């Protein structure tokens, strides 16, 4: 089967998701990667067209983005320019490579990957009849003396790995190992650039070190391919990744026979129900935000946008108010009963005796916020 760093990450999160991807089941499209895909497309196309400008390249593709997505893309493209990442003209941009993997994790020969291995109209990983690894650096280039290869990858997500996490990152390990084997470089440096936060990190190792780390990963892929696909599909692992999984609609369903399951299956089923609830709540909140009126469904519950008032501290007044309560605190009350604040300031104020509450009213003001689901008491 076809493997890549994305498929390995999917396998770690949920083996069922990974095997369905590798079998060519496209499932439901998730548009959460739209901004990142656009940024990568524009940067790659610009670098390939020597002298082209980022805004010129991305103009035709921008019609597929919302206003907010366009703003986000524009900011990250400007960040890319401002960061001035050193990418010489001799760099190879977004070229896919692949190799058959042997039992011990050794690649047979790296060569340019065919179109069916790349994400696009012709993508069909089910065509892989052997264990194959594919990788696609955003950019890479050799030092002028050819002894060191630099692998460049730009990210658009919200998170950044720790330096320790980058040292063991599957992408860094497998990309650098493969590039060392392809180019004959004695050393490789993986550069990780976050365009959202304008932050860069890097890790460098000798070719021997990179390859020694990569071979167990590739060998594990070879071993995993010896298992039956139907058996792997039974290994479901619900989690936050379910929200962006292309197969969530077939997994996040209620099974009538759930009470007949054993304890392990029942626990996993409960996690699936949690994820289904999160998905439903997310869809519900999106729909409620679009309502132009409030819907009263009874039992004190209303649905739809409305402004509600709540208590909040005036700016800089919290400490003064708390000190005044302490100064006037009566001996017959327990401090823990009053200062064990749980929930809102409003609920805390209700716990205070009237003689204390009136002294801190000057430190409190009314605020407002939007709520979509309101319950009495």
Nearest to 132 by CA among 4, 264, 239, 30: 4
Residue 300: what pLDDT?
79
pLDDT digits (tens, 9 = 90+) for 362-375: 888 888 877 775 66
Q: What are phi and psi of 192, to 5 degrees?
A: -115, 115
CATH class (in words) of the domain with range 2-12+23-226? alpha beta
Average predicted confidence (pLDDT) for the chain: 85
Domain boundaries of the chain, sorted by first residue: 2-12+23-226, 297-375
Task: Confirm if 273 and 248 have CB atoms less than 8 A apart.
Answer: no
Span 217-262, pLDDT tens digits? 999 999 999 998 888 888 888 777 777 788 877 776 655 565 556 7
231-233-234-238 Cα dihedral, nearest 10 degrees: 150
For range 158-185, the mean pLDDT: 91
Question: Among 35, 19, 26, which Cα is nearest to 71's?
Answer: 35
Q: How far apart are CA 207 and CA 211, in angstroms?
A: 6
Residue given tokens 């983005």 in the structure block: 65
Token couple for 238: 């619900």
Residue with tokens 């205070």: 352
Residues in the chain: 377
Rounded to the nearest 10 degrees, what angle do helices 170-183 and 5-13 cross at?
150
* pLDDT, tens digit (0-9, with 9 covering 90-100), for 25-82: 877 766 667 788 889 988 998 888 866 666 665 555 666 778 888 888 889 999 999 9
For 281-296, the pLDDT digits (tens) are 888 888 888 777 788 8
What's the maximum distance between 2 C-alpha atoms anywhere in the chain?
82
CA 206 from chain centre, in angstroms, equals 30
Contact criterion met (CB below 8 Å) for 192 and 200 = yes
């Amino acid at each position: 089967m076809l493997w890549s760093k994305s498929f390995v990450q999917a396998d770690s999160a949920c083996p069922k998701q990974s095997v369905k991807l590798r079998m060519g089941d496209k499932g439901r499209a998730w548009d959460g990667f739209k901004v990142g895909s656009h940024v990568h497309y524009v940067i790659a196309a610009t670098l390939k067209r020597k002298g082209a400008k980022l805004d010129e390249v991305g103009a035709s593709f921008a019609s597929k983005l919302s206003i907010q997505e366009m703003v986000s893309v524009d900011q990250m493209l400007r960040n890319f320019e401002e960061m001035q990442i050193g990418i010489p003209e001799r760099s190879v941009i977004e070229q896919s490579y692949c190799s058959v993997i042997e039992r011990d994790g050794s690649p047979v020969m790296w060569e340019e990957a065919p179109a069916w291995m790349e994400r696009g109209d012709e993508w069909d990983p089910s065509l892989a009849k052997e264990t194959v690894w594919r990788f696609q650096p955003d950019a890479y280039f050799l030092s002028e003396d050819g002894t060191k290869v630099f692998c460049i990858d730009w990210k658009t997500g919200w998170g950044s790995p720790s330096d320790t996490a980058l040292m063991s990152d599957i992408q860094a390990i497998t990309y650098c190992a493969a590039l060392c084997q392809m180019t004959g470089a004695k050393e490789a440096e993986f550069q990780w650039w976050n365009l959202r936060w304008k932050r860069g990190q890097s890790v460098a190792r000798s070719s021997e070190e990179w390859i020694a780390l990569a071979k167990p990963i590739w060998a594990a892929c070879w071993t995993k391919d010896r298992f039956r696909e139907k058996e792997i599909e039974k290994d479901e692992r619900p989690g936050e990744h379910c929200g962006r999984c292309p197969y969530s609609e077939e997994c996040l369903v209620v099974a009538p026979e759930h009470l007949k399951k054993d304890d392990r299956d029942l626990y996993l089923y409960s996690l699936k129900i949690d994820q289904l609830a999160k998905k439903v709540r997310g869809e519900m909140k999106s729909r409620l935000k679009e309502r132009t009126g409030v819907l009263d469904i009874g039992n004190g519950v209303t649905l739809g946008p409305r402004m509600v008032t709540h208590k909040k501290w005036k700016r800089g007044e919290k400490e003064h108010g708390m000190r005044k309560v302490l100064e006037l605190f009566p001996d017959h009350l327990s401090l823990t009963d009053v200062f064990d604040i749980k929930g809102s300031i409003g609920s805390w104020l209700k716990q205070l005796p009237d003689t204390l509450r009136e002294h801190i009213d000057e430190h409190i003001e009314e605020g407002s916020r939007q709520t979509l689901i309101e319950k009495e008491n």
